[in-house]
Amino acid sequence: MADNYSSPISKKKSDAESTSDNHNDSGPKSPKRRQSRRHLIWDNTREFLSNTTLHGFRYLLDTKSNWFERLWWLCMVIASIMVCVVFIRKVWIKWDETPVIVSFADTTNSVWTIPFPAVTVCSETKPRQRVFNFTKAYHERRRTPSTISVEDLNTYQDMLLLCNNPESDGPQFANKTSIETLQKLAPTRDDLFLKCLWKNLSCGDMFYHTLTKDGYCFTFNMLSAEKIFRTENLHKDYYHVAIQNDSEWSLDKGYPPDTNVNTYPLRGPVWLHNPAELPNMGQNFFRLPIQYQSAAAITPKMMDTSEGLKGYSPSKRRCYFPEDRYLRFFRIYTQRNCELECSSNFTAKICGCVPLYMPHDQETKVCGGGKQKCIQDAFEELSLRKSVLTMKTDSHSDLEACDCLQACTELKYDAEVSQAVYNLSNYMDNTDSDVANGWRIPSGLVIYFAEDLFTTLRRSELYGGVDFVANCGGIMGLFMGFSFLSLVEIVYYFTIRLWRRVKDSSATLADQ
């Protein structure tokens, strides 16, 4: 009995000490609790390493292995992780820097799906000699003193807009009268064409005048000015394209599926260009020799871009979709239209005017004969800057603003030209006296598609998001046995399972 007796004072003291101990153990800063949690994390890590499906990890804490074996496996695991990091980095760089590959499309296309190329025919003779003798005016202008009349001098200076004029002879700026003079002196449609053959169309129905770098030419199958230009931003006297035909064709979408045979631009089985572009006599042209029959076999070159590349920036896919790039003067983006607008803006900035064939707004003047040297210097400077554009300096800001990448849907035409001597006997009975008497000797031109089918090039993803993940998964699976469930396993062990251990441990401490 005596051994079991305790005084009230002793009992109270014991209870107080017990309460104090419980309070200290459950406090947020208790060393015992912190130590317990560290043990929980370590135990959880050991359990993960012992049971994970990742290769090599379970040997790191294997109690049956000595320290050398564990160190060897640690080195192997670290080496595998480093190899994965290096290889995945290479895959990332390849995906980031070269995400686009150009390849042949899976199927061929019929030429019926694209328009016949626009054909522009120009005369080597700029003014008609019977209307204005340019050679005579040139010599009269060069005499000392000059013997040319005021009227002929004005006409001569207007014609210099189409000629090489290194001396920059003439006024600084041209006006609407200059353009009207060029149109009046240019060879007419009847001067250039004897006969045209396209279904039942006449030459007058097929060819319309177009103002180019080489003067007034005649173009077949080009879109109208309203379809090509943003006419609201052009000078009101800019009437360089006379074609008025309406069209439902677009470069990126092609012809609507419900269109019939009678479409525009015309379809069919040379100077050649995309119907949505202005002609450029400096590129992709060939000459028609007198007394020769020329045949041009056309091969379309078309490139489109997969929809999967729309998520990439234009600088990575190296092309523009129609909604990516706005042109001030053109409704349809092509690389040629962009470069022409860039040249117009650059020349206007350097010379205060633009050549007569370039699009311009209401405030911009047309360069006269006195500005020809400035125009040539501006073109040379523009070409020089393009060649050194990789040097990022402030002087290239104008060119960087041009940024004329290819269109994501691009259509070009190549021509293989063959020639044979013309049989003039067919024209000796022609009602045209000049032809019948041999004073006007014709040339012939036949243009046709070389093949009924053509292969499209396609710009597509080299690596998509799925491809990148698959490549990374393959690398990690090869070196570490990693899979999607391995990631789930890691997340599980260090979130749900760890939280449950901490919760169970806290409950146990509370019970104690």
Structure tokens belonging to residue 153: 């001098």
Provide the pLDDT for residue 279: 78
Residue 10 domain flag: no
DSSP string across 19-59? HHHHHHHHSTT-HHHHHHHHHHHHHHHHHHHHH-SSTTGGG
Kindly give the interhelix angle for 372-387 and 335-351, rounded to the nearest 10 degrees: 120
Residue 347 domain flag: yes
Contacts of 471 (CB under 8 A, 6+ apart): 88, 91, 463
Specify whether 357 is located in the same domain as 322: yes
Contact between 218 and 278 (Cβ < 8 Å): no
What is the C-alpha to C-alpha distance for residues 21 and 27, in angstroms, rounded to an integer?
A: 10
Contacts of 74 (CB under 8 A, 6+ apart): 60
Specify whether 273 is located in the same domain as 251: yes
Q: How do 118-121 and 272-273 pair as beta strands?
A: antiparallel
Q: Which phi-psi region, left, alpha or beta, contains residue 391 (left: φ > 0; alpha: ψ -120 to 50)?
A: beta
Specify whether 253 is located in the same domain as 309: yes
Residue 19 domain flag: no
How confident is residue 44, by pLDDT bands cut at 50, 70 and 90?
Answer: confident
Average pLDDT over the chain, rounded to an integer: 79
Amino acid identity of residue 25, one-letter, is D
Q: Judge whether residue 342 has pLDDT over 60.
A: yes
Specify whether 301 is located in the same domain as 282: yes
Structure tokens belonging to residue 418: 């063959």
How confident is residue 7, by pLDDT bands cut at 50, 70 and 90?
Answer: very low
Provide the pLDDT for residue 399: 55
How confident is residue 341, by pLDDT bands cut at 50, 70 and 90?
Answer: very high
Residue 166 domain flag: yes
Q: Judge whether residue 271 has pLDDT over 60.
A: no
pLDDT tens digits, 125-182: 888 888 899 889 989 988 888 899 999 999 998 888 887 666 677 888 888 888 888 8
How confident is residue 3, by pLDDT bands cut at 50, 70 and 90?
Answer: very low
Amino acid identity of residue 431, one-letter, is T
Specify whether 227 is located in the same domain as 245: yes
Q: Which phi-psi region, left, alpha or beta, contains residue 92 (left: φ > 0; alpha: ψ -120 to 50)?
A: alpha
Residue 28 domain flag: no
Contacts of 361 (CB under 8 A, 6+ apart): 233, 234, 235, 328, 329
Specify whether 125 is located in the same domain as 40: no
Provide the pLDDT for residue 396: 47
Specify whether 302 is located in the same domain as 364: yes
**Nearest CA-CA partner of 413 in 305, 288, 299, 310:** 299
Provide the pLDDT for residue 21: 47
Task: Pick the last residue of a domain from 421, 440, 461.
Answer: 461
The whole-number average pLDDT for the span 78-90 is: 91
Residue 23 domain flag: no
Q: What is the pTM of this model?
A: 0.69
Radius of gyration over every alpha carbon of the chain, rounded to an integer in angstroms: 40
Provide the pLDDT for residue 345: 92
Provide the pLDDT for residue 429: 55
The whole-number average pLDDT for the span 272-277 is: 77
Residue 452 domain flag: yes
Specify whether 155 is located in the same domain as 82: no
Provide the pLDDT for residue 351: 93
Q: How do 292-305 and 410-421 pair as beta strands?
A: antiparallel
Specify whether 434 is located in the same domain as 505: no
Q: For the chain, what percent of residues have pLDDT higher than 70?
A: 79
How confident is residue 98, by pLDDT bands cut at 50, 70 and 90?
Answer: confident
The whole-number average pLDDT for the span 383-398 is: 58
Residue 304 domain flag: yes
Of the given ranges (194-203, 237-246, 422-431, 495-504), which has the lowest mean pLDDT?
Answer: 422-431
pLDDT tens digits, 396-447: 455 556 788 999 999 888 889 888 886 666 655 555 666 666 667 778 888 9
Contact between 325 and 480 (Cβ < 8 Å): no
Provide the pLDDT for residue 397: 52
Total structural domains in the chain?
Answer: 2
Specify whether 126 is located in the same domain as 185: yes
Amino acid identity of residue 362, one-letter, is Q
How confident is residue 82, by pLDDT bands cut at 50, 70 and 90?
Answer: very high
pLDDT tens digits, 366-376: 998 888 889 98
Specify whether 299 is located in the same domain as 190: yes
Q: Judge whether residue 105 has pLDDT over 60.
A: yes
Specify whether 357 is located in the same domain as 473: no
User: Whole domain around residue 484: which residue ranges?
Assistant: 33-96+465-511
Provide the pLDDT for residue 55: 84
Provide the pLDDT for residue 86: 92
How confident is residue 352, by pLDDT bands cut at 50, 70 and 90?
Answer: very high
Q: Judge whether residue 315 has pLDDT over 90.
A: no
How confident is residue 283, by pLDDT bands cut at 50, 70 and 90?
Answer: low
For residues 97 and 376, which has the higher predicted lDDT (pLDDT)?
376
